[in-house]
A and B are shown apart, each in its own frame.
Chain A
Amino acid sequence: MIVLLGLLAGIALGLLLDPAVPLWLQPYLPIAIVAALDAVFGGVRARLEGVFDEKVFVVSFLSNAVIAALIVFLGDQLGVGSQLSTGVVVVLGIRIFSNAAAIRRRVFGA
């Protein structure tokens, strides 16, 4: 419940404030979202398996976002930004899918 409330509050906040994303931050936005989704799916899976831990959740979210942004930043500086972005998305995408598969097994038993 608290999760849904938080999510809705965040979306409402984002839509209401509608902050203009500065240009230099725009390449990191999609990566940050994918990293956040990875943390969220990991948290949901842990919750379903009964091993959820708030500290692990918060730390994994922050570290995911920071490391993903760092990799993309480094890639931009080295001139391979788009390739590294692709790499980050692929790795996080695989994790998201495996977590989603675990959640699916838990919820639907299939």
Chain B
Amino acid sequence: MSLLAELFSARAADPGYADAAARRAARGEPPGTRGRGAGVLLVVALVGVLLAVAGAEARRREPVAAQERARLVKEIRARTAESDALRRRADAARAEAERLRAAALAGTDAGHRARRALSAAQAAAAAAPARGAALVVTVDDAPHGAGDGGGRVYDQDLQVLVNDLWGAGATAIGVNGLRLTATSAIRGAGEAVLVDYRPLTRPYTVTALGDPERLSAALAGSAADRRLAALRDRYRLRYERRVRSDARLPAGTVPEPRHARPVEEGERGR
């Protein structure tokens, strides 16, 4: 603490000068006479050079950083636009493939059957958009200051809710507009709840397509219902259910087949 003590006392911070003065006094020289020499000039000039160089350096470095940032921002925008364009192209190609497939399958009975099987498989894999009557469950953190820090919705709460909704017979489920597929994961990362690695923002709205009456009846008294109701009573979490007659869910991200590959022209028919 001697540093702090020194700071608040008025004593000389550098005892070197006091010692030198004492030595000079002991030798009988008058105090304060030495001090206008070449050494002082040199040191002061050196300080000036240092300041000038540092100033020039800082000026030189600042525009470089700004340019770098602007370049990065531009690149991000360009790449985002590029990926948007690619996604539009992919959507158009998918629609075109869908149309061609429908046209190709429309002719025959076997084609009709294949098409029905395909759309059933697509619905099951959440590869196609879905719409219909739905039960909407809204869960949210307790308002600020309420409860004792336990008033947060965790990933497990949503997991249990989604599992019980599947169990209640929901045909499609989306959380905050993100469609759940067979491989979707609801996870927590720090403060955030992620669905398929995409962070959700509160409140959490779980939309389950299916007959709302039946879903509601099956959900009532389930593990999720008991758990969320208990959390609502104890921590003032928000938990409410309502029915929507026409809800839409987008297609989910279907995992790419990793081992299947298109048949080459030469291999066909082999």
Contact = CB atoms under 8 A, between A and B. Distances in A.
B40 A57 contact: yes
Contacts of B16: 53, 56, 59-60
B20 interface: yes
By DSSP majority rule, is chain A's interface helix, strand, loop, or mixed? helix
A7 B34 contact: no
Contacts of A37: 47
Nearest to B3: A94
A70 interface: no
Interface string A23-54: 00010011011001101101101110111111
Query: Chain A contact residues (Cβ within 8 angstroms of B): what range?
Result: 35 or more
Contacts of B13: 42, 45, 95, 98-99, 102
A102 B18 CA distance: 14
B51 A14 contact: yes
Nearest to B22: A51
A29 to B, nearest CB: 5
Given A21-B57, A51-B20, A36 B50 contact: yes
Contacts of B45: 6-7, 9-10, 13
Contact of B43 (A8, A9, A19, A57): A57
A14 B39 contact: no
Given A36-B50, A51-B21, A57-B35, A15 B41 contact: no
A9 B6 CA distance: 34
Contacts of B6: 98
A47 B10 contact: no
Contacts of B3: 91, 94
A14 B53 contact: yes
Contacts of A52: 17, 32, 34-35
A11 B44 CA distance: 10
Contact of A53 (B7, B21, B56): B21
B49 A14 contact: yes
A29 B50 CA distance: 8
A54 B47 contact: no
A2 interface: yes
A51 B17 contact: yes
B53 A2 contact: no
B25 to A, nearest CB: 10
Contacts of B53: 14, 18-19, 21, 29
A67 interface: no
B46 interface: yes
B62 interface: no
Nearest to A52: B35
B56 to A, nearest CB: 6
Nearest to A46: B17
B50 A3 contact: no
B24 interface: yes
Contacts of B50: 10, 14, 29, 32-33, 36
A7 B42 CA distance: 9
7 contacts: A10-B51, A13-B45, A40-B44, A40-B47, A52-B32, A56-B16, A91-B3
Which are the 5 A-B pairs with shortest beta-carbon distances? Answer: A10-B48, A14-B52, A6-B44, A10-B45, A51-B21
Given A29-B53, A53-B34, A99-B14, 6 more contacts: A10-B51, A14-B51, A33-B51, A46-B17, A61-B46, A102-B10
